[in-house]
Structure 1
Amino acid sequence: MRIFTVPIILVLLLLVITAKAQVQTDGSQGNSIYTAVPFLLITPDARAGSMGNAGVAVAGDVNSSSINVAKLANLKEQYGFGLSYTPWLKSLAPDINLGYLSGYYKLDDRNTIAASLRYFSLGNVQLLDENRQDLGSFKPNEIAVDASFVRSFGDEFALGSTLRFIYSNLGSSQVSGGKEYAAAKAVAVDVAGIYRSPMNLFNTDATLSIGANISNIGTKVSYSTGASHFLPGNLKLGAATTFNFDDNSDFTFALDFNKLLVPTQPNYDTDGNITSGKDPDRSVPSGIFGSFSDAPGGFTEELKEVGLSTGIEYTYNKQFALRAGYQYQSPTKGNARYFTVGAGFKYDVLNLDLSYLIADAQTSPLANTLRFSLLFNFGSASKISESK
């Protein structure tokens, strides 16, 4: 039997498929929402990360594939690529990190293709047998590869879809608790849309945007025989308004709502019988549609499963940006509550974005999280039409 010497990695190996319930001060406990591969819910983009993870309706950039691929239709350049890096949970382990590579290419004035790669490393894990003899080391990791297509329908509306392959190797060929764990594989799709309309608000030129992204809808995954788990299916809806005060100054307000499309765990009695809520062992379609009405606490609890992200962005001369935001989850449904700040700089074809997460280091493992994004854009989309 092989065991791990690093407690946090053991937890990630055996319990990464769960979103831990939060215990209240009165001793009560919220109902968990279980998912596999939660790394897909991490926002890799530093720009969105600095706006409280809001951005489903904010003006697009190379990293739009990570939050709403349909936004690529509105880019002015013909092609580009980006690199992002995030040290993750560094207060718990020093070598967990997320890397993100993305790129797009405009085929013409209506059609865009894109691809991206996420690589989530859980660091280096030392392996020991039951006698604490050294069995070497292991580097658990997870990968998601995306291919996307986006089509615009005029200047205001665009739709995009993504096909995703997921590989999660958290304990391949390792044995724990009498079970052998193997790498998990899955296939998923995203469907996204964006609507943008120019208007005049408060005697100021503005653009109103409404965006939506349904992500990670796909097959269940299994790490061991007889156990399968839902992907983190997710619904994100949002709106953003950008005010163009003059030729140099733009100000954007963004608000997103987020809901996991995964069954909520019911309440059980001491014999394992369900006393309230619904059986979570069901098909993917049933799990998605049932996620709006299966909470044991009824409608009140369903509302608590909706997270909120809000952010602001000030841009000067299309070159310098300052950003801030706030992320909120109910204390019984994740309890991710924190402020974010960040900045951006653009020079010629290069964009550099940074973000910083502000939270109490004593209570949040996400405290002091940094994100870095480096983006490159080339060519002019207007020349595509001119050349045809």
Structure 2
Amino acid sequence: MKRNLAYIFLAVFCSISFVATAQSSLTALSGQQLNVPTSSVPFLNFTPDARSGALGEAGVALGDADANSVFWNPAKLIFAKQNSGGAISYTPWLRNLIGDMYYTNLSAFGKVGKNTAIAGSLLYFDLGTVDFTTNTGVAAGTFNSREYAITGSISQRLSQNLALALNVKYLNSNLAAGSSIQGLKPGGTAAADIALYYHNETRDRSTGQGLGWGWGAMISNLGGRINYGGNERYFIPTNLRLGTGLTYYVDQYNKFNFVLDFNKLMVPTPNVVNGVNQNGNKDYFSSVFGSFADAPGGFSEELKEVTISTGVEYWYNDQFAARVGYFNESNDKGGRKYFTTGIGLRLQDRFGVDFSYLLPVKQGNPLSQTFRISLLLNFNKSNRLSDDDVTDDSN
């Protein structure tokens, strides 16, 4: 589908999911100014896989790690059941508004010995084909806007139950460079993620009953700003994610996973006075790490900038999964609120497929009917009950 350039900007703002946003500082219907943090390349924080997509977009401490952990928390790969694996996911984006936008994610990992894992991923976002016209309305060609990020990862076990990981990535954003818009160039920069994960569990070998628990933390997209050829340099979506997960093993065949994530976008909160953003001239580190205390409304407003993701996952015999979740964001900071649901299948311990579907709380949400599908390929599955980090409570 071809469209006017204006759709690029609609796509970018809707991609951030501040669907009522056209500026970084908004005015509500009541006349109250809303200070909503925004960034360039928001696709870096898009949920790439259907499993977490069905769990309210939570995943930093979700157990049973797979290749998609490169995005959520690569430190989890040390505790994966498999020695190696891969995944590919596909999501049509804003399909109720625009018919040819989508993003896809390809990831893979492999363990190097018992204490190290390496991984990589490619996240690609296609914003579709855009029609360009001159000031007089004459057709001036078309362009396919696209963005991508290439990530390399290494994870290291620090102790029996604790692991640390580092991602390094290169990202590129080409909204319309090479088109009829003069002076517009592709934007690119490097970034890094730092992640930590703790996991432990206790199970009775005879009955399979027990509990597993974990917590995770990840700062993602620490890196430079993006420039598109002009004087402006735009923040990338540095993000802090904290979360916990709990697994309840009912018996040898049935288990439940409960997950809870908190996210904080570490970019400056707009503070507009007389039409001028007072936070616009800060340096990078002051902006990113000062984002916890720069909201004009103080601590209460900072709390509103934290989104909450939670979900419940049921597994039968590690082969069939049913999932539900909920995502919540303050009405003053974008107002994204939606339920999620999905299912998963695992075949012969090597192949898997997951599907998720998004159900907004309010009608008319551009994210309505968003679905994700993921395919998994795993190798060398080990017996969970024979892992070194399992405590035997049968005696």
> TM-score scaled to structure 1, two decimals?
0.90
Preserved CA contact (<8 Å) 2:141 2:179: no
Q: Is 1:309 matched up with 2:309? A: yes
Looking at structure 2, the residues matched to 222 and 17 of structure 1 have their Cα atoms a distance apart, in angstroms, of 19
Query: How far 1:305 sits from its partner (Å)?
Result: 0.4
Aligned match of 1:197: 200
Letter in 2 for 1:182: K
Letter in 2 for 1:192: A
The 5 A counterparts of 1:135-154 are 135-154=140-159
Describe the shift of the 1:18–1:374 C-alpha distance in structure 2 as closer, same or farther (beyond 3 A): closer
Aligned match of 2:7: 8
Aligned match of 1:70: 75
Query: How far 1:13 sits from its partner (Å)?
Result: 6.6
Query: How far 1:125 sits from its partner (Å)?
Result: 0.9
Looking at structure 2, the residues matched to 93 and 6 of structure 1 have their Cα atoms a distance apart, in angstroms, of 13
Letter in 1 for 2:57: N
Preserved CA contact (<8 Å) 2:209 2:252: no
Aligned match of 1:127: 132
Q: Is 1:103 matched up with 2:108? A: yes
Aligned match of 2:30: 26
Q: Is 1:57 matched up with 2:58? A: no
| RMSD value, Cα | 2.4
Q: Deviations over 1:197-223 (max 9, x none)?
A: 22489x951011100110000000011
Q: 1:158 aligns with which of 163, 166, 183?
A: 163
Looking at structure 1, the residues matched to 40 and 332 of structure 2 have their Cα atoms a distance apart, in angstroms, of 19
Looking at structure 1, the residues matched to 5 and 267 of structure 2 have their Cα atoms a distance apart, in angstroms, of 30
Q: Bigger shift: 242-251 or 134-143?
A: 134-143
Describe the shift of the 1:317–1:381 C-alpha distance in structure 2 as closer, same or farther (beyond 3 A): closer
Aligned match of 1:84: 89
Letter in 1 for 2:285: P
Describe the shift of the 1:190–1:227 C-alpha distance in structure 2 as closer, same or farther (beyond 3 A): same
Describe the shift of the 1:71–1:186 C-alpha distance in structure 2 as closer, same or farther (beyond 3 A): same
- Count of residues in correspondence between the two structures: 373
Looking at structure 2, the residues matched to 17 and 246 of structure 1 have their Cα atoms a distance apart, in angstroms, of 42
Letter in 2 for 1:5: N
Describe the shift of the 1:131–1:361 C-alpha distance in structure 2 as closer, same or farther (beyond 3 A): farther
Looking at structure 2, the residues matched to 209 and 281 of structure 1 have their Cα atoms a distance apart, in angstroms, of 40
Query: How far 1:17 sits from its partner (Å)?
Result: 8.7
Q: Deviations over 1:56-75 (max 9, x none)?
A: 10111121111111111111
> TM-score scaled to structure 2, two decimals?
0.89
SS in 2 for 1:92: coil
Aligned match of 2:392: none
Describe the shift of the 1:22–1:339 C-alpha distance in structure 2 as closer, same or farther (beyond 3 A): farther
Describe the shift of the 1:38–1:350 C-alpha distance in structure 2 as closer, same or farther (beyond 3 A): same
SS in 1 for 2:286: helix
In the alignment, structure 2 segments of 5+ residues that lack a partner are 388-395
Aligned match of 1:168: 173
Provide the identity percentage: 38
